[in-house]
Structure 1
Amino acid sequence: MNRGIFINIIRFILLVLVQVLVFNRLNFFGFINPMVYIMFLYWYPIKENRAVFIGLSFLLGLSVDFLSDTMAIHAAATTTIAYLRPAIMRFVFGINYEFQSFKLSNTTKAQQFTFLALLILVHHSVYFSMEIFSIANLLLIVKKVLSNGLASLILCLLFSTLFSVKKE
């Protein structure tokens, strides 16, 4: 088995476990639950097969749903950001991301931050819209997207700093 596949399997399993066993149990201010498992979608190699990536994203969300008893809301949100990731990348990195030599680690910190923030924003917008599922509660949806998004972003940035591969 190639090293990249092995690393992705380990990331997948660890992020699901950390999300379900640690972060789903946290409840800052009574309503903020950070979602760090999104990092799998951030770290996943760009040049891999898109259908496999979307399938893995669905499985990632479904795994969190199964262990959290959340009726496929995570699966819908992760599948959405997996599907939209190329458009988000084109927006953040321009045409550069389509080149064979493109690596996320070679981009600026501002671009990496923007990419991660947009992934989280789209994920949380889909997730909380489906969880609350009421246009009458639009302000509650916005409040949850922004507060949970900020908490998720801070923790994901911490994770990416702790677990990033250092350049020699």
Structure 2
Amino acid sequence: PWLNAVLRLITAFAGVWGFSVLFNSPQRMCIVAGIIGAITDTLRLTMTDFGVAAEIAAFSGALLAGLLASAWRTIVRHGLAPQYLGYPRIGLTVPSIVIMVPGLYMYRAMFYLGQFHTLPALDWTFRAFMVIICLPIGLAVARVITDKSWRYDV
């Protein structure tokens, strides 16, 4: 189990770092996003290993990504980290949750659709849709929890 967790941390870091590079982020920002993504994606995968539904695990991972990004901004704002490491929250959270998009579910949906098995295709499409919907909801809940002024912006 420990080796599995370490390998997940490493590969999740590499994946999130790669998405950050694709978004043309500075290297330091890619590293911070990679650390946040490594923690949150490893949590999500561990939760699914313990039998938690993929939707709840995705929501929890996205919620933790939002909370960690807000915590990072607070650390920088209070001078516990250098000011040049103060990055926008969205620049840290989006690469962290892109890796949680269920590509296998979408692949299975397209596979069954190509085989003209419509019921399994719809089942996998709906599962993928539910996971994809839970990701921004987790980020929004984290923002509501951590940003008092955002709740009242109209």
TM-score w.r.t. the length of structure 2 is 0.36
Whose radius of gyration is greater, 1 or 2?
2
Q: Which has the higher contact order (CA 8 A, sep 6+)?
A: 2
Name whichever structure is richer in helix by fraction: 2
Q: TM-score, normalised by structure 1?
A: 0.34
